[in-house]
Amino acid sequence: MEFPSKLISDSVEVFSKLPGIGKKTALRLVLHLLNQPIEDVRDFGQTIIRMRESIKYCKKCHNISDGEVCSICSNRSRQKQLVCVVETLRDVLAIENTQNYRGIYHVLGGVISPLEGVGPEKLQISSLFERIQSGEITELIMALSPTMEGDTTVFYINKKLQEEQLDVKVTMLARGVSFGGELQYVDEVTLSRALATRLPYE
């Protein structure tokens, strides 16, 4: 696509780097912004910069947070002994959306994937074990994607728990989450049920 303005073509380029945004959609968004009052566009830009610059990660669970500890970890009505282990922030959002989970989380930041060079040391696994060793946790719900990588990660954590003789119950999400799928695409009802009917890991 040729544009009569480099300013426009640069903006289209920037927008089309976003996931799911092609050149056509990018152009539509740019032209939309072009028609908005300058204050609104300035606000738009500054909100994004502020988000990127100021966002923090919870020092306990690694969820996104505005402060040192996230709103879930600091919520007194949450069951602190029940920890749901997930890959990404998006999984936290998906499970929170079910409005049925009252425990807390641990965000690993991915799963073990030897092919992609992701070993346990690149994930938040040691901090998970620090939390377990502090003795507050009685159950880990492994809510990882049902893929080879997800399974490998569960296996690794479970083996390490046994090696370190840590007495924590490990459960898995139950029916409805098919092998090979990604957790964040599972609908709320299925995810809710999978959490409620979780099974012991064997």
User: What is the contact surface with Zn ion in residues (CB under 5 A)?
Assistant: 58, 60-61, 63, 70, 73
Minimum gap (Å) between residue 60 Cβ and Zn ion:
5
At its nearest, how many Å lie between Zn ion and the CB of residue 84? 12
Query: DSSP for 11-26?
Result: HHHHHTTSTT--HHHH
Q: Which is nearer to Zn ion, 92 or 111 (CB)?
A: 92
- Smallest distance, Zn ion to C-beta of residue 7, A: 41
Helix (H, G, I), strand (E, B) or coil at 128: helix
- We find the least distance from the C-beta atom of residue 63 to Zn ion, in angstroms, to be 5
**Closest CB to Zn ion among 13 and 66?**
66
The nearer residue to Zn ion, 61 or 128, going by C-beta atoms, is 61
Can you tell me whether residue 193 is helix, strand or coil? Answer: helix
67 burial type by CB count under 10 A (0-12 exposed, 13-18 middle, 19+ buried): exposed
Closer by beta carbon to Zn ion, 8 or else 73: 73
Element (H, E) at 86: strand 79-86
DSSP secondary structure of 29-51: HHHHHHTS-HHHHHHHHHHHHHH
CB of 61 to Zn ion, least distance (A): 3
Residue 108 to residue 100: CA distance in whole angstroms: 21
C-beta closer to Zn ion: residue 28 or 90: 90
- One-letter amino acid at 25 equals T
Q: Identify any residues that bridge with 181 across adjacent strands, giving them in sequence order.
A: none
